[in-house]
Amino acid sequence: MKKILLMNGPNLNMLGVRDPAIYGTDTLATIEAEFAAYAAERGAAVDCFQSNHEGALIDRLHEAHGCYDGIVYNPGAHTHYSYALHDAVETIDVPVVEIHLSDIEAREEFRRVSVIAPACIAQVKGLGKAGYLRALDILLDGPAGKDGASEAASAPAAEGPAAGGAR
Ligand code: DQA
């Protein structure tokens, strides 16, 4: 059975309360439960981790090395500035798909850049909570997925060195 780690970064513990017009009304607990149920249907087991602390997230990525088949990761605002998390994702031998509930390219200027994406095999954005399931499909089926070309084809790193390189 494949082992998947679902990681969420800062402020995502506040889903349900935090700006529902942008992030939806579901709590993180609901999203995690739905993700785990979908993964089980697809024959994968899931561990979940959320932290508001960069160091704790780096530690969890290091611990994942050699232990998981894939990671679905919403880095929250760390996306836009944490080279330390980029380096942690790049260091481990586990493929990571970056996911964002919102379309980060259609929002404020500072959200348009992801410094973590170049270390990931794909990025999913703007699909709301369904994006987490899409990210899992990419890990299990590859970027083209069961349904062929998709929104995740916009993933900047999907065709980059990380996809064809060491991973
Ligand atoms: C987010 C987008 C980020 O810009 C923001 O800081 C978040 C959530 C998303 O899921 O859309 O915390 O990652």
Q: For position 162, what pLDDT does the model report? A: 36
pLDDT of residue 123 exceeding 80, the answer is yes
- CA 1 to ligand 1 centroid distance, Å: 30
Q: Which residues line ligand 1 (CB under 6 A)?
A: 11, 74, 76-77, 79, 100-102, 104, 111
Residues marked as catalytic: 23, 100
Give percent of the chain above pLDDT 90.
84
pLDDT-derived band at 142 (thresholds 50, 70, 90) equals confident
Pick from 74, 98, 113, 115 the residue to mutate for probing ligand 1's pocket: most ligand atoms within 8 Å of its CB. Answer: 74
The answer as to CATH 3.40.50.720 being correct for domain 2-164 is no
The Cα–Cα gap between 96 and 85 comes to 12
Average confidence (pLDDT) over 120-143? 96
pLDDT-derived band at 46 (thresholds 50, 70, 90) equals very high
Q: For position 146, what pLDDT does the model report? A: 52
CA 141, 64, 102, 16 dihedral sign is positive
Q: For position 143, what pLDDT does the model report? A: 77
The Cα–Cα gap between 65 and 3 comes to 12
Q: Residue 134, SS3?
A: helix
Q: For position 156, what pLDDT does the model report? A: 40
Q: For position 116, what pLDDT does the model report? A: 98
C-alpha of 27 from chain center: 17
Sheet holding 96-100, edge to edge: 44-50, 2-8, 70-74, 96-100, 122-125
pLDDT of residue 109 exceeding 50, the answer is yes
| pTM for the structure as a whole | 0.88
User: Which of 135, 144, 141 lies closest to 117 in space, CA to CA?
Assistant: 135
